[in-house]
Amino acid sequence: MRYDAGEVITAMVTPFNDKREVDYDKVEFLANYLVNNGSDAVLVTGTTGEAPTLSYDEELEILSSAKRAVTNKGKVIMGTGSNSTETAVMTAKRAEKEGADAILTVVPYYNKPSQAGMIEHFSAVAEAVELPIILYNIPSRTGVNMSVETVKTLAKKYKNIVALKQSYGDIDTITELKMSCPSDFAIYSGDDSLTLPMLSVGAHGVISVASHLFGTEIKSMIRNFKTGDAATAGNMHRKLYPIFKKLFMAPNPVPVKAALAYKDIIQEYVRRPLVELTKAEKADLFFTLDAI
């Protein structure tokens, strides 16, 4: 593998206080908590981290806070994607300068580039930094799907494009990616409920939301599958499946922040235009959480 960020990467929420300001002490606390509870790495300032509502200065301070907390216990990956290639390049350079271990960069959203446009976009980022780069394909948010051929082209051309986060539930696509891309190119599930199915056709691990709460269990599921105990892995998948789905009962990261507040780990606050769960929604979520 050209770069191994681990099997369980938590797409970390950004803790806010009741004024919806970044709570940097809680950033440190949460990052440390995660790497002590099953996470091999934390991904900050991604979608789950509410990156669209963060300033550049906030993003860099979150990165620094997470790095201080994690030290040598795990890696810190920074989400640096943008629908502007110039901005994506600038943010990647800043992440490299500030000590990120790797970056995650998403397919440009809203402007819906062609496959050729995606190749130019990601090529510009790859040529601007030496950091390991994880591509991020999430058609439900970007409006376009990155093709197998595009991923293959980028993975073969750039050694620092090391992995793909695939948030598109098509197992055939994972099979085609494994058949087309270099053998040392890693594929991560971007959806907790698809982790085990994707592992079965060659995925390396998961960039997870549920690992905020069940990181050790998700890690054991992956380890059991890879060491040949598919039955135990399947049992864990089925045990966690209800919470995998409930954590997306409202726009991410609203439910997981509510669950973390319920566990007294951080406060539940999100930035507008997101809103916190209603009392009825919380009752539904917490019932599922308590049943596991």
DSSP, residue by residue, 252-268? TTHHHHHHHHHTTSS--
188 is catalytic: no
Q: Among 273, 274, 230, which residue's Cα sits nearest to residue 253?
A: 274
Three-state DSSP at 79 gives strand
Q: Which of 26, 75, 165, 246 is catalytic?
A: 165
- The C-alpha atoms of residue 163 and residue 246 are separated, in whole angstroms, by 27
Give the chain's end-to-end CA distance (angstroms, integer).
35
Ramachandran quadrant class, 186 (left: phi over 0; alpha: psi -120 to 50; beta: rest): beta
- The C-alpha atoms of residue 187 and residue 278 are separated, in whole angstroms, by 36
195 with 218: CB under 8 angstroms? yes
- The C-alpha atoms of residue 241 and residue 235 are separated, in whole angstroms, by 10
Which token pair is 288?
């599922």
165 is catalytic: yes
Q: Which of 33, 136, 188, 269 is catalytic?
A: 136
Q: CB within 8 A of 172, min separation 6: which ones?
A: none
Work out the burial of residue 231: count CB atoms within 10 Å of its CB; fewer than 13 is exposed, 13-18 middle, 19 or more buried. Answer: exposed
Neighbouring CB atoms inside 10 A of 201's CB total 16
Q: What is the CA radius of gyration of the chain?
A: 18
Q: DSSP character for 4?
A: -
Active site residues: 136, 165
